[in-house]
């Protein structure tokens, strides 16, 4: 009986360790001929911005600040 309980306990612990949620996707590159502002947030609720990235038309100039996370919003504007 002890052996069965021990086996079940190990199986339950191992099964729990296998199920791991994936991390949120990172923001991709801005498309050519667009101006992109990306804001990175501390959590999924977007309660606090912790970083940002500004990509100018053609990707010639990229400005960044803070840290990048998997929680982000992006504003995309066509170049004039």
**Domain spans, the chain:** 31-80
Bigger pLDDT: 66 or 2?
A: 66
pLDDT of residue 7: 59
Mean pLDDT rounded to a whole number for the chain:
78
Banded model confidence at residue 66, pLDDT cuts 50, 70, 90? very high
Q: What is the pLDDT of residue 9?
A: 56
Which H helix or E strand runs over 49? strand 49-55
CB 27 within 8 A of CB 64: no
Spatial contact of 28 and 42, defined as CB atoms under 8 Å apart: no
pLDDT at 52 > cutoff 80: yes
Q: What is the CA radius of gyration of the chain?
A: 22
């Amino acid at each position: 009986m002890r052996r069965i309980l021990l086996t079940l306990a190990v199986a339950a612990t191992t099964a729990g360790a296998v199920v791991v949620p994936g991390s949120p996707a990172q923001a991709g590159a801005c498309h050519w001929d667009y101006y992109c502002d990306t804001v990175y947030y501390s959590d999924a609720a977007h309660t606090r911005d912790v970083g940002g990235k500004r990509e100018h038309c053609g990707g010639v100039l990229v400005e960044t600040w803070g840290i990048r996370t998997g929680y982000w919003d992006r504003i995309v504007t066509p170049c004039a």
